[in-house]
Amino acid sequence: MDDLRKEFELEALPHMSALYSFAVRLTRDRDDAADLVQETYLKAFRFFDKFERGTNCKAWLFRILKNSYINKFRKTSKAPDTVEYDAIEEFYETIRDSSVETSVLEEQVIDNALDDEVAKAIEALPEEFRTVIILCDIESFTYEEIAEFIDCPIGTVRSRLHRARKLLAGSLAEYARKRGFELPGEGKMPESAIPERSLNDEH
Amino acid sequence: MNTEFMPTDLDPRQVEREQRIVRAVSNTVARRRDALRIQVPVELERSIRISLGEAAASNQQSWLAGALNWVRRPAVSFGMAAATLMIVVGLVFMTQKSETLPAEITDAALMAFPGVHTGSTKLDITSADKGTLSAYLAEHGVGHEIFYPEVEAELVGANVFSVNGLPCAEIVYKAAGHTIALLQVDEKAIASKRVELHPVVAEDVAHSKWHWASTVDNGTLFVWKSNSIMCTVVSDLQIDEVSSLFRLEAL
């Protein structure tokens, strides 16, 4: 048992920060997040003999956390979207980009975002978008792992990520504006941040 | 597909710019990975380590290990040890379910399931006859009528588990090598707080009739109430498979 515990501690405990961060962003409450992480570790330890050695322990822990979260905090789990629907939506999102603020952003504005702004922008995302951004861009899970985690086809993962990043771009643009950057035509936007065509040019 | 808003042309520059912005967002978030992580509170980390230690210790100090250690003592004669061992082995089969399960019903059902599924926990009684099973369960302290739902699976037997000290019936079905274990608890025991049902599950059952969830191993936890019996199914089958085996409208 000591060996098992040592192995578990070596494999599982290094992911505590990732799990806790994810739990905080999922529950939006630090006490609930702490309960969730504690429960996750106890369940994981109980079922550690079932963990397939050599596979991704972090992904396994995240799955346990998600199941605990659904059991504890969500009354019903949403039926998975179909890839067809998301593919169509992504298509529309792509062609209609002039309708959102991302069309007036350049990479420099995004690059210059403050850590706090990025954190707030992520926290403000709806859960399904928040989840994929955290899993992909912060926790570096593969599309396959994310698809398994959210129980959706890979196409849906790609689509959600694309939409989530566009929403983030919009939020970061808003923060940039508050920090003194202005939209094209208002005179203060750095040259390199002015898009080739402004929102107004589209209409 | 609704083509009402379908564009007649796509501006490649616009699409390319959007891709660039999306990539920039991804890079920006990834670069701030460490800053975006929220520090784990020291108390939480400490609490988890303590809990793991307790869980490991409680497994280590099982009564069986204690009994075997006693048998190994030099002071105990060989004959005595052999006799004791036989008694211990007998006790394993007779009382392996005497260890009480946690008070929360779904936790209890989940905890009991692996042994039942793998066969390491022998069924207390093996029979497909409902009358035989009910009589056995009643004799062993289960004080309510046993509910046998209509399930497209073979009824193979039953167990009596102690949930926080309360004898509770678990009836077991098999379907193509898969296990469906149904733990039954009298609603009165929940009302009197002798056992508990997680509030979220209770709310689901009260408002939506049942609670479905996937377990850690992609199995199923399914809870509903039949008359005054709270029924908790745990299975290694997935949710859609379990739901297809039950006649849900009859539950």
pLDDT tens sequence across B211-248: 888 877 778 889 999 989 999 999 998 887 888 888 77
Please tell me the distance in Å from B139's CA to the nearest CA on chain A: 32
Report which of residues B187 and B86 the model is more confident about. Answer: B187
Residues of A in contact with B204 (CB under 8 A): 75-76
Q: Lowest-confidence range among B47-61, B85-99, B176-190?
A: B85-99
Of all residues in chain A, the one with the smallest CA distance to B61 is: A1
Taking CB atoms and an 8 Å limit, are B59 and A64 in contact across chains? no
Say what the pLDDT of residue B3 is. Answer: 35
Task: Write out residues in chain A with pLDDT < 70, as ranges.
Answer: 1, 74-106, 182-203
Q: Verify whether the Cβ–Cβ distance A137 to B10 is below 8 Å.
A: no
**Subunit contact B37:A196, Cβ cutoff 8 A:** no
Distance from CA of A178 to the nearest CA of B (A): 18
- Which of A136, A138, A161 is the closest to B36 by Cβ? A138
What distance in Å separates residue A98's CA from the closest CA in chain B?
A: 8
Let me know the angle formed at the C-alpha of A83 by B2 and B18, rounded to the nearest 5 degrees: 75
Asked if B158 and B141 count as a contact pair (C-beta separation under 8 A), the reply is no
A39/chain B closest Cα distance in angstroms: 9
Is residue A5 less than 8 Å (CB to CB) from chain B? yes
Question: For chains A and B, what is the number of CB pairs under 8 angstroms?
Answer: 159
Q: Residue B44: closest CA among chain A residues belongs to which residue?
A: A34
- Cα separation of A64 and A68, whole Å? 6
For residue B7, give the chain A residue with the closest CA.
Answer: A95
| Chain B touched by A118 (CB under 8 Å) | yes
CB contact under 8 A, B40 and A197: no
Question: Strand B154-163 to strand B210-214: parallel, antiparallel, or no bridges (unpaired)?
Answer: unpaired
Residues of B in contact with A122 (CB under 8 A): 29, 36
Would residue B147 be called left, alpha or beta, if left means φ above 0 and alpha means ψ between -120 and 50 degrees?
Answer: beta
List CB contacts (< 8 A) between B219 and chain A: none
Its pTM stands at 0.49
Q: Is A4 on the interface with B (CB under 8 A)?
A: yes
Give residue A106's pLDDT: 67
> Which chain B residues touch A118 with a CB distance below 8 Å?
28-29, 32, 36
The pLDDT assigned to B134 comes to 95
Q: What is the mean pLDDT of residues B60-68?
A: 46
Give the pLDDT score at A182. Answer: 61
Here the tokens at position A18 are 């990732």
Instruction: Report which of residues A37 and B95 the model is more confident about.
Output: A37
CB within 8 Å: B45 and A16: yes
Q: What is the average pLDDT score of chain B?
A: 79
Chain segment B132-191, per-residue pLDDT in tens: 999 999 999 999 999 999 888 899 999 999 998 899 999 999 988 899 999 999 999 999
Question: B162 to each of A176, B89, B101, how far by Cα in Å?
Answer: 61, 20, 6
Average pLDDT of B28-40? Answer: 88
Q: Determine the residue of chain A that is closest to B17 in CA distance.
A: A103
Distance CA A22, CA B37 (A): 8
Q: Which of A74, A59, A60, A58 is nearest to A128 (CA)?
A: A74
Which backbone phi and psi does B231 adopt, to 5 degrees? Answer: -110, 130
Cβ separation of A43 and B200 shorter than 8 Å? no
**What whole-number distance in Å separates Cα of residue B245 and Cα of residue B202?**
23
C-alpha A34/C-alpha A98 separation (Å) is 41
Please give, rounded to a whole number of angstroms, the shortest distance from the CA of A165 to a CA of chain B: 6
Kindly give the residue spans of alpha helices, DSSP state H, lying in chain B: 12-31, 33-36, 42-60, 63-71, 78-95, 105-118, 130-139, 187-191, 199-208, 239-245
Closest-CA residue of A relative to B4 is: A92
Query: With an 8 Å Cβ cutoff, are B25 and A70 in contact?
Result: no
Output B63 or B137, whichever has higher pLDDT: B137
Give the gap in angstroms from C-alpha B162 to the nearest C-alpha of chain A. 19
Within the 10-49 window of chain B, which residues sit less than 8 Å (CB to CB) from chain A?
Answer: 10, 13-15, 17-18, 20-22, 24-30, 32-33, 35-41, 44-45, 47-49
Percent of chain B predicted with pLDDT > 70: 78
Q: Does A67 touch chain B (CB under 8 A)?
A: yes
What average pLDDT does the segment B115-139 reach? 93
* pLDDT score recorded for residue B97: 59
CA distance A105 to chain B (A): 7
